[in-house]
Amino acid sequence: MRGDLFDLEEERLGEEIKKRGAEVVLLQLPDGLKPLAARLASIVERAGASVIISGEPCYGACDVALAEARELNADLIIHYGHTMMLKDLDIPTIYFEAHAKISVEKAVRRAIGLLKPWRRIGLVTTVQHVENLEAARRILSSAGKEVYVGKASEILYPGQVLGCNYINAKVISSNVEAFLFVGGGRFHPLGLALATMKPVVAADPFEDRAYSLNGDAKRILKRRWAEIEEARKAETYGVIIGLKPGQKRLKEAFKVKKKIEEMRKKAYLISLREITDQKLRNFQEFEAYINTACPRISIDEASAFRQPVLTLKEAYVMLGEISWEKLLEEGII
């Protein structure tokens, strides 16, 4: 991972440490940025604070290492790679978004051929490329496309999505025939296809290539339906409560437990920081799980689990409160 691919705002980092007089800083990075940890830690040290690099995984803006910082007596968390999601935390936290400094143009040009069947295109990206969305829009417009960029969230930039939040795509979905996602990796464009049920083409500026996602989304939907059907047969459920600050949905967990019990079945609450098959295997009595934490764990890692692990939305399909067709209409994410 080269530091010159991302704007790490190194000057601001040093200034924030000095301005706040931080003594112990917990530095938190997603895995993709961890190769830059030592470089950032040196900046913190030069600014006069001790720094501890969190070696734990960090998957999103929801995953601020508050518990870790408490245990380590850190007085400031520096969280890289995501847009601010959680405010007023009991340990001051500064988000650094790490915008990519690479051009998206070549990848977007390569996407034009794949977008040929459609004229009205929704443009979507992650925080890393929000500044390049205008360049992408220009390329699409000059190729004769009518381009839409959604803005329906206070915390997100126009056109920006998160792995579990596609509201900026959903608000323009009825206007467009297909979406172009600009960014690296399959995680976000796959989520976009599942959230909107529209054709999705991805333009990856890190690899200067474009590809279509539609087969993947169909395969996943087939599997989600099969898991719902399988979970329906269970008599005893584990309801998972995520311990990460932005994933904790206690009220939802209690509510779904009650709904299951109303069907004369058993449900128990389980708290987990990381949701893995290895951890769930210890609970041999549970035949299926409802995951109230990050929905992408259920959707993207289904094959890693031995039992069905439904998202909250899928649980309500299983309970008969919403139809599968309605869920598809709304988007499973």
Q: What are phi and psi of 302, to 5 degrees?
A: -55, -40
The answer to whether 173 contacts ligand SF4 (rule: CB under 6 A) is no
Q: What is the DSSP string of 164-184?
A: TB-HHHHTTGGG-SEEEEESS
The answer to whether 162 contacts ligand SF4 (rule: CB under 6 A) is yes
Among 5, 36, 41, 62, binds ligand SF4 (CB under 6 A): 62
Minimum distance between the CB of residue 264 and ligand SF4, rounded to whole angstroms? 32
Among 36, 140, 164, 201, binds ligand SF4 (CB under 6 A): 164
Q: Regarding beta strands 76-80 and 24-28, do their DSSP bridges make them parallel or antiparallel, or are they unpaired?
A: parallel
Minimum distance between the CB of residue 79 and ligand SF4, rounded to whole angstroms? 12
Q: Are 208 and 152 in contact (CB under 8 A)?
A: no
Among 22, 124, 210, 294, binds ligand SF4 (CB under 6 A): 294
**Distance between CA 67 and CA 65 in Å, rounded?**
6
Minimum distance between the CB of residue 118 and ligand SF4, rounded to whole angstroms? 27
The answer to whether 100 contacts ligand SF4 (rule: CB under 6 A) is no
Q: Are 246 and 294 in contact (CB under 8 A)?
A: no
The answer to whether 188 contacts ligand SF4 (rule: CB under 6 A) is no
Angle, helices 10-20/37-46, rounded to nearest 10 degrees:
40
The answer to whether 61 contacts ligand SF4 (rule: CB under 6 A) is yes
Closest by Cα among 65, 60, 77 to 127: 60
Q: Give the number of other CB atoms < 10 A from CB of residue 134.
A: 12
The answer to whether 60 contacts ligand SF4 (rule: CB under 6 A) is yes
The answer to whether 49 contacts ligand SF4 (rule: CB under 6 A) is no
184 or 246, CB closer to ligand SF4?
246
Residues that bind ligand SF4 in the complex, under the rule CB under 6 A? 59-63, 162-164, 246-247, 294, 296
